[in-house]
Amino acid sequence: MSDLNRSKTFAVEEVKGWPSTTDVKGILGSIIRLWYMYDLDLPALIRGKILHTQTDPLTDREVIEIARKLCESGDNYSGILWLEALLQRKQRDSDGNVSEEIISSRLAQYYNQYDMPWKSVEVLEKFQTNGSKVTRANYKYFKIRAAEIKTARKPFSQISFTNADEKYKELCNRNNQTVSHMSTLRCFLTKTSIPFIRGREEVLNQRPRISMFHDVISKSDIEKIKITSAERFKDSTVVLTAGSTTNVHMRVSQTHWMSENDFTRRLTWKIGILTGLNTTFRKRVSDSEPFQVLNYGSGGMYNPHVDPLQGTQSPDYLVGSGDRLATWMFYLSSVTAGGATVFPRLRVRIPVVEGAAAFWFNLVDDGRVDQRTVHAGCPVLLGSKWVANKWIHSNAQMFVRPCKARHTPYL
């Protein structure tokens, strides 16, 4: 205990923090999320191997805690898989701080909760003579319960997921656009109002227009944003329909809103030139919002959502400015794996490329929210993802992109 106290004292004094229960739960959730989203090999993951990267293996107690979290959330199937993989490791390598009997007892308990007591019997079979009194009693109980089941024994199978979840997951792993769709896309140098300034635009979707602009922010500007934001990060929140914000599991990242200065005004001006939109920030009826800088560590993600505020309470500087017409997202880093921005309804996938930016419109011509632009930030598998968002509002674009009368539904 004295070693733990010394470690905690050092962390609090030098690192200015100590993991809370919430932090630990967040880490467990991230591991589970990455395993599910990227179909990681479970035995390899427990050994600490992710793709081609080797890190410290998970301890017996860590795996047991992950399995417990899964089962408490109602996913006994996944909890059982984790304990099965741990038991296989234990049978090959007896090292660890938890005995095979304890792991088997927990696994038998989860099989019983899954209404498969006959599997509980199989797991505890080897301990019926030399096991503890509790283990032998549980073995007898599971055997009686298994005998009472008269119906056909159900197979051990995974719960089904919604089609939307599967599309999100598939896009996070790979680009699945059709050949015919890809043939309509192109890359070109965009013209701007200043003849010698061009943008290297890659069109990823025509309707609605989703593009990626390459080499639009320098390494020095990226470093300046990171240095400015790193010490000011707070846990990201999500705006609710009533206008309040909350920390929820749909978004796992750190956020900082940059103050307006000459540096941010220069970047905002450049976005305006490349997009042809009015982007000037003002203290009243602003054309755009300040830069929102985000950092996503391993497991960091943002579930499917749309960007428009849709009538939620806005800061004073946005009153009368309309809604978020368009989104510009600077990529301030690259990642080794994961982290793509995906549009499940359009099957569009934008990889994380340092120095590039994603750009798309959130509203259709008559001002309605374009539900096709539902998008998500895939969990970061390896690396750290940095982005800076700039939201451009609609009312300042009345002469640049005028509204049209409502027409045939776009969906």
CATH number at residue 142: 1.25.40.10
Q: Are residues 142 and 92 in the same domain?
A: yes
What per-residue confidence (pLDDT) applies to 156?
75
Whether 77 is in a domain gets the answer yes
pLDDT in tens, 167-197: 899 999 999 888 888 888 999 999 999 999 9
| Two tokens, residue 29 | 């959730």
Query: 132 and 187 share a domain?
Result: no
Retrieve residue 225's tokens.
């944003």
Residue 172 domain flag? no
The answer to whether residue 168 sits within a structural domain is: no
Question: Do 197 and 325 share a domain, yes or no?
Answer: yes
Report yes or no on 164 lying in a domain: no
| 304 domain-assigned | yes
Could you list the residue range(s) of the whole structural domain that residue 60 is in?
Answer: 2-148
Residue 257 sits in the same domain as residue 381: yes
- State how many domains the chain has: 2
Give the C-alpha separation, 376 to 371, whole Å.
13
Q: Please give the Cα distance from 240 to 245 (Å, whole number).
A: 6
**311 and 386 part of one domain:** yes
User: Of 188, 257, 268, 263, which is closest to residue 229 (Cα–Cα)?
Assistant: 257
Q: Please, which residues bridge with residue 89 across strands? A: none
67 and 192 both lie in a single domain: no
CATH code: domain of residue 182: 2.60.120.620
Same domain flag for 131 and 221: no
Residue range 81-93: average pLDDT? Answer: 93
Shared-domain flag, residues 144 and 182: no
Query: Cα(85)–Cα(210) distance, rounded to whole angstroms?
Result: 42
132, 186: one domain: no
> Are 221 and 350 part of one and the same domain?
yes
Has residue 410 been placed in a domain?
Answer: no
Specify if 270 maps to a domain. yes
In terms of Cα–Cα distance, which of 264, 386, 395, 262 is closest to 326? 395
User: d(Cα 239, Cα 248) in Å, to the nearest integer?
Assistant: 10
Lowest mean pLDDT among 8-17, 113-122, 132-141: 8-17
Q: Are residues 51 and 131 in the same domain?
A: yes
Domain final position from 148, 167, 198: 148
Residue 214 has pLDDT above 50, yes or no: yes
| Per-residue pLDDT at 411 | 40
**Residue 163 falls inside a structural domain:** no
Q: Give the position of tokens 């549009």.
A: 343
The pTM of the full predicted model, rounded to 2 decimals, is 0.85
Whether residues 248 and 386 share a domain: the answer is yes
Instruction: Give the domain-ending residue among 96, 131, 148.
Output: 148
pLDDT in tens, 249-299: 566 789 999 999 999 999 999 999 999 999 999 999 999 999 999 999 989
